[in-house]
Chains A and B, each alone.
Chain A
Amino acid sequence: MSYMLYIVILIEIYTVLSLSLNVVVGYAGLVTLAQAALYGVGAYVATLLMVNLHWGFLPALLLAVVGTVLSSFLITAASMRFKGDYFILAALAFQVIVYSVINNWVTVTKGPFGIAGIPKPDLFGIHLDSLLTFSLFGLVITVMVGGLIYMVLHSAFGRTLQAIRDDEIAATTLGKKASSFKIRSIAISAGCAAVAGTLYATFITYIDPSTFTTDDSLLLLCMVLLGGTGNFKGPIVGAVILVLLPEALRLLAIPDSVSANLRMIIYGIALIVMMLVRPQGIAGKYKFES
């Protein structure tokens, strides 16, 4: 039972990550390899506040969101000066630089040793120290974040964002300032990634840089691209696959040493095949047409 709850909590965290990444990849149409870095910024800010300054969960969460959103402006500021295709590079630059900082700024982040002893959330008098309560709490957060993203994507903002994605020039001549929409969609994505990061930190009670690498960004991108882009259920499908695939491999008695690589090979092949036959992913809607 506790194993199942563990899986459920992971699915919750990855659903939040996946939905947030989809705002940028599926709705703004920008492929980004920075999501793990944003996830990491959120996790580290929340952790440092809770561990070093003994802040409570909610204030730490709030500041983690604010901090991550602010950091996302570095990506957009850099990429606004680059042209369209270079956004990928700006995002990747952010990812690489953030990881280097997390990994090397040992005095603050303790580098590769990570930070342990992150307190479980303590909300309105309830101490969430059991798997069950945490999973329920995670569910509440996931639904709230999901609801927020849903509202945003189904509003005029979401509609215009998709118009810009589908034909930026036509949208510009209709009065839409593309850069403003892209910046805001990335900010929303960053804020939600920070929520996932805070959840993750308080769940595992230990974080280190190895969760927030370029390969992790790659994995998150695969998750969204395979599950489906440009609609709401695609990313959820992607999150479920991401969490369940390693478990499935374990059931097939594949040794752990090979399992991680095999998983990536499956993703890689799926990606190649998908882009050829079904670019919108398993359950998605947006096909990345030029």
Chain B
Amino acid sequence: MTSIFLQIFINGLIVGLVYALVALGFNIIYRGTKVFHIAHGAIYTSAPYFFLGWVLLTGSTHFTNIGSSLFLGLVSAIVITCLLSALIELIVYRPHFMKGSSSVITFVSSLGVYIVVINLIAIFFGNTIRYLYPGLQPTLTFWGVRVTQMQVIEFIVSIISIIGFFILLEKSSLGRKIRAVSDNSTLANVLGISAKRIRVQVFLVGSLLASIASLLIAFDVGVTPFVGMSAVLTAAVAVIIGGVNSYRGSVVGAILLGLSQNVVIWFLSDQWKDAVTFLILVIVLVCRRQGLLSAKMRLEEK
């Protein structure tokens, strides 16, 4: 009996760590630009499809072997996805930033971007599920728990990426600048930190994380043009329940959601996944408005 719970726990933990990448990306974009970047879901969806596009263009079929062509394909997909996000920042969000548009307007624009990108993908690649890894995965069993090769890769890659993110944030000059802009953009401006350049860089970092996450998942269970909404909403909820001002909170929130989703999938069905995500959001916000890890209490005044 315990092996079932352990299985659920392992599954949940691993998928939670992957979600954490998306959540960290969403959070850094929100804190760096104040944009509720729902198009993050479109960026998430794009990476596997850019990879598929590369596969079609180069005629590669042997991506079951870890070789240079696979590596090249992954890197290309990630790079192009990140460039796409930079493009979105430059042509959609930047004008609103310069104009001082309200957050509602920017959010709606983001929604528009999401709609366009997703539907373009659907037109070119169709609505049905695409698998990046053909056939079954080799599995590994320990303590009564079965994990696939892909899950192991997800675990390792996510942890490395998360650690890399925190190192970037806390040790590098880019990280320091991003933190400065997130905390106080006017002051940062005075110190000569260009908000514009930081904005682009923040989108690049966030999209890099999202691309890694979606490629991992796509190799694991496949991809459809519609996976993005669920992913970005889970990420947003993870950020909120973890406390917007805490990156660690986003990781904790994501793992929590991964675990909860897997409990629900096991005992109910896959269909309730998103409902559970939102139920947890409602519960956490009703009980503890500032999120689980955030130290700051909200001001009563606007």
Q: B148 in the interface, Cβ–Cβ < 8 Å?
A: no
CB distance from B141 to the nearest CB of A (A): 32
Interface members, chain A 60-100 (any B CB < 8 Å): 78, 81-83, 85-86, 88-90, 92-93, 96-97, 100
CA distance A53 to B296 in the complex (A): 53
Q: Is the CB of A272 within 8 A of B233?
A: no
> Nearest chain A CB to B102's CB is how many angstroms away?
4
Shortest CB–CB separation between residue A284 and chain B, in angstroms? 13
Q: Say if the beta carbon of A140 comes within 8 Å of chain B.
A: no
Q: Which among B79-87, B182-190, B252-260, B276-284 touches the partner chain?
A: B276-284
Interface size class of chain A, counting residues whose CB lies under 8 Å from the partner chain: 35 or more
Instruction: State the CA gap A169–B301 with chains docked (Å).
Output: 9
Proximity string of chain B (225-251) to chain A, C-beta cutoff 8 Å, 1 when within and 0 when not: 000010001001100100000000000
B:274-302 near A, CB below 8 Å = 274-275, 277-279, 281-282, 285-286, 289, 298, 301-302
Establish whether residues B114 and A268, one from each chain, have CB atoms under 8 Å apart when the complex forms: yes
Known contacts: A275-B96, A275-B112. The answer to whether A92 contacts B119 by CB under 8 A is no
Specify the chain A residue showing the minimal Cβ separation from B111: A271
CB pair B105 A214 closer than 8 Å: no
B210 to chain A, nearest CB (A): 19
List the B side residues contacting A261 at CB < 8 Å.
119-120, 122-123
B104, CB-defined interface residue at 8 Å:
yes
Contacts of A85 in B (CB 8 A): 36, 103
**Chain A: CB-nearest residue to B280:** A93
Asked if A271 and B269 sit within 8 Å, CB to CB, the answer is no
Check: B109 CB closer than 8 A to any chain A CB. yes
The residue from A97, A169, A218, A267 contacting B302, defined by CB atoms under 8 A apart: A169
Q: By the criterion CB–CB under 8 Å, are B100 and A97 in contact? A: no
How far is A25 from B281 in the complex, measured between Cα atoms in Å? Answer: 23
Enumerate chain B residues within 8 angstroms of A218, measured Cβ to Cβ: 111, 115
A275→B271 contact, CB < 8 A = no
CB<8 Å pairs between A and B, sample of 8: A31-B104, A89-B236, A93-B282, A214-B229, A261-B122, A268-B116, A272-B109, A276-B109
Known: A82-B285, A261-B123, A269-B112. 15 other contacts (CB 8 A): A85-B103, A89-B281, A96-B275, A96-B277, A104-B271, A104-B272, A225-B108, A261-B122, A264-B118, A264-B119, A268-B119, A272-B92, A288-B108, A290-B100, A290-B103
